[in-house]
Amino acid sequence: VTASYHSATLGRTFALAMLQSGRQRIGATVYAPLNGHAIAATVTEPVFYDKDNLRRDS
């Protein structure tokens, strides 16, 4: 995990990470360490909000 943020727009936290063969793993569950525990995360497309850029000028 390279960074994590809380998004008010998404209503949750999301994280950025570098994954080997990441594009082939979209939809897969991976596990990341957090405070001594492994938490599940889903690999998503690089653009996961407003993929069609419809909110840009709204």
What percentage of the chain has pLDDT greater than the value 90?
A: 43
Are 4 and 15 contacting, i.e. CB atoms less than 8 angstroms apart? yes
pLDDT for residue 55: 72
DSSP conformation class of 44: -
CA separation, residue 14 to residues 25, 57, 58 (Å): 17, 24, 24
pLDDT band at 26 (very low <50, low <70, confident <90, very high): very high
> Across the chain, what does the average pLDDT equal?
87
Residue recorded with tokens 């998503």: 44
DSSP conformation class of 31: E
Statement: the pTM of the whole predicted model exceeds 0.85? no
- Is 48's pLDDT higher than 80? no
Kindly report the backbone phi and psi dihedral angles of residue 34, in degrees, each rounded to the nearest multiple of 5, phi listed first: -150, 115
